Chain A
Amino acid sequence: MSPVGSSVRAAQGARAGEAVDGRGPAPKSPRGRGGRLAERLAPYVLVAPAVLIIVVLRLWPLGLGVNFSFTGDCEHNGTPVGLDNYAELIDDPLFRTALRNVGLLVLLLPVAVAIPGLLATFIHLRVPGHPFFRSVYFFPAVLSPVIVGAIFNLLLAFDGPLNAVLGRSGAGPVDWLGDPDVAIFAVVGVHIWATSGMALVVFLAGFATLDPALLDAARVDGASLARMIWHVIIPGLSRTIQFVVVTTMIGMLTSMFGLLYVMTSGGPEGSTYLPEYYIWVQQGQMSRPALASAASTVLFLVMLVVGLLQVGLLRRAGRED
Chain B
Amino acid sequence: MKQRTLWSATVVAGLVVLAGCGSASDPDSASGGSRGKLVVWDWKSGDATASSYVRKAKADFAERHPGVTVEFVAQPFDQYYTLLGAAIQAGKGPDVMLFNGGGQIRDRADSLLPLDEYVRADRKRLAGWEAFTKDGKTYAAPVTLQGHPIYYNKSLYRKAGLDPERPATSWDEFVADCRTITKATGARCFAQGNKEGIGIQFFLSGLGSGVLSPTEYDDWIAGRRDWSSPAVKRVFSLWKEADDKGLNNDGANSTAMFNDAFAVFQSGKAAHVIGLMSDTGHWKDFGEFLDAGDVGVMKAPVVTAGARPSLPYDGGIGYAVAKWTKDPKAAADLVRSLTSTDALKSFYADAGAVAADRTVDVSSGGPAVATIVSEIDRGKPALHVALSSRTVDLMGRLSQQLLSGSVTVDAAVRQLAASDQAG
Contacts and interface: CB of A to CB of B under 8 A. Distances in A.
Given A159-B251, A292-B20, A280 B82 contact: yes
A178 B107 contact: no
Interface in A276-300: 276, 279-281, 283-287, 289-290, 292-293, 295-297, 299-300
A236 interface: no
A77 interface: yes
Which of B17, B255, B406 has most A Cβ within 10 Å? B17
Interface in A66-81: 66, 68, 74-75, 77
B5 to A, nearest CB: 5
Given A265-B196, A267-B197, A283-B85, A178 B252 contact: yes
A238 B260 CA distance: 47
A264 B17 CA distance: 24
Contacts of B82: 280, 283-284
A318 to B, nearest CB: 8
Contacts of A307: 5-6, 8-9
Contact of A74 (B19, B110, B401, B404): B110
Contacts of B366: none
A289 B404 contact: no
Contacts of A77: 110
Interface in B175-231: 195-197
B142 interface: no
B59 interface: no
Q: Which 6 A-B pairs have the closest CB atoms?
A: A158-B251, A178-B254, A65-B17, A300-B13, A178-B253, A284-B82
Interface string A293-318: 10111011001101110110011001
A157 B255 contact: yes
A254 interface: yes
Count class of interface residues, chain A = 35 or more
B389 A279 contact: no
6 contacts: A57-B14, A62-B14, A175-B254, A279-B19, A289-B85, A304-B13
Contacts of B250: 158-159, 173
B6 A300 contact: no
Interface in A125-152: none
Contacts of A300: 9-10, 12-13, 16-17
B401 A269 contact: yes
B88 to A, nearest CB: 8
Contacts of A206: none
A211 interface: no
A287 B423 CA distance: 13
Contact of B107 (A62, A264, A267, A287): A287
A290 B95 CA distance: 24
A267 B17 contact: no
B2 interface: yes
Contacts of B19: 279-280, 283, 296
B163 interface: no
